[in-house]
Structure 1
Amino acid sequence: MKLNRRNIHRDLGYFYVGLIISFAFSGILMNHREHWHPEKYTVETKRINVNLPEKSEITEEYAEKLGKELGIDDKIRRHNVKKGTFKISFEKHDVEIDMETGEGEIIAFNKTPIISQTMKLHKSTSNWWIYYSDIFGISLITIAFTGVIMITHGKNTFRRRGWKLAVAGIIIPLLVLFLIG
């Protein structure tokens, strides 16, 4: 195989097509994670009635103990009392109980198949994955660069037309950064 810009561009594109699609898909989902939790979905909601102590007696230990009494064996993430509602968040369950009535519910969650796995790509801190992702990033730069210089003749070259699109592609994210920041 001849090593030139077209072959490098093509072969890196073929090699990374699955990862590009996975990153793009999970990136879109992560952009909207405030509107829905893409990693979990409700499997079961169970109504409960609990005799709660005074607000001052609700501690982390109490929240863990209550979780066990309710049959939840997940690791506790956090608990709080806000606006008259006692909330406990576990890895796979959420519990919400009205402080006055003791009525509430347990919401059980499971991972959304495929979506939760692709979202792990963005969150992974494993050393080998970080290095692989760095190589992927360098490859994306190479794919972009070889794509820019691939067409050398005609009206659609980088010099005649492509640079305008590239500048627009750079300006838009910069504007967003300045407007948000």
Structure 2
Amino acid sequence: MTDPDPGEHPRARERKPRRWRPQLRALHRDFGYLVVGLTFVYAVSGLAVNHIEDWDPNYTQFERTHELAAPLAEDEQEAARAVLDQLGIDEQPSDVFLYDQELEIQLEDRSLYVNGEAMTILDRGQDERRLLRLANWLHLNRGKKAWTVVADGYAVLLLFLATSGMLMLPGKKGMAGRGWVLVLAGVAIPVGYVLLSGGP
């Protein structure tokens, strides 16, 4: 048996305890970076749909008036095509109705009301809030299928971030100190609201 080196300090031969908190902090950091994009999607969409009674989070409504460039043709399809060409709309109407000097053109996201006597076109419709509508589509899981897996994975990562956040720091800066007070305060918010509102 080989004798230990007399110049070696006894503690150097002891196995150093594994420090798990630095590894936990590294995972918390990396997973936090990973979910930044999803967090923005869900947070912005959540703010939007929370106020759905006050506004349309997917579309903006518009109403515009244009001058009719030429008198209406007697044929409703010909009259409709002339109006659409004037406005630069390349879309097949779902319905066209001409009565005397009033022409109505129904399109997918708008309706045109033409007054041949006043020579005006009333354009009513909605414009898509493209990015916000996409965020809402993802948040409400309209896509189903594969997105359900992504949403479930995101939920699991949020649970990990919440749990690891409580365990990252030791001592007074962690759960042994002010941490538990803040955790209880956060838990008290939904519990208190349910109690005060009476719940579902």
2:183 corresponds to 1:174:
no
Rg larger for: 2
Q: 1:68 matched to which residue of 2? A: 95
- Provide TM-score, normalisation by structure 2: 0.59
Q: TM-score, normalised by structure 1?
A: 0.65
Q: CA RMSD in A?
A: 2.6
Q: CA deviation at 1:173?
A: 1.1
C-alpha distance in 2 between matches for 1:112 and 1:44: 16
**Counterpart in the other structure of 2:129:** 112
The aligned length equals 134
Q: Which of 168, 181, 184 is the aligned partner of 1:164?
A: 181
Asked whether 1:14 is paired with 2:33, we answer yes
Instruction: Tell whether 2:65 aligns with 1:31.
Output: no
Q: 1:175 Cα deviation (Å)?
A: 2.1
Change (3 A) 1:167 1:73: same
Structure 2 unaligned spans of 5+: 1-19, 67-93, 97-103, 113-121
Are residues 1:44 and 2:78 paired?
no
Counterparts of 2:160 and 2:194, CA distance in 1: 25
Deviations 1:67-106 (A, max 9, x none): 72332243xxxxxxxxxxxxxxxxx3589xxxxxxxxx76
Partner residue, 1:78:
none
Judged with a 3 Å threshold, the aligned counterparts in structure 2 of structure 1 residues 68 and 15 are, in CA distance, closer, same or farther, namely same
Instruction: Tell me how far apart the structure 2 counterparts of residues 172 and 93 of structure 1 sit (CA, whole Å).
Output: 44
How many percent of aligned residue pairs carry the same amino acid? 27
* Structure 2 counterpart of 1:127: 145
Bigger relative CO (Cα 8 Å, ≥ 6 apart): 1
Q: Does 1:145 align with 2:163?
A: yes
| Corresponding residue number in structure 2 for 1:81 | none
Give a deviation string over 1:48-80, Cα, whole Å, max 9, x none.
Answer: xxxxxxxxxxxxxxxxxxx72332243xxxxxx
Residue 105 of structure 2 contacts residue 111 of structure 2 at CA under 8 Å; is this kept in 1? no
**SS across alignment from 1:158:** coil
**Using the alignment, how far apart are the partners of 1:180 and 1:25 within structure 2?**
28
Which runs of 5 or more structure 1 residues have no equivalent in the other structure?
48-66, 75-91, 96-104
Structure-2 separation of matches of 1:163 and 1:23? 27
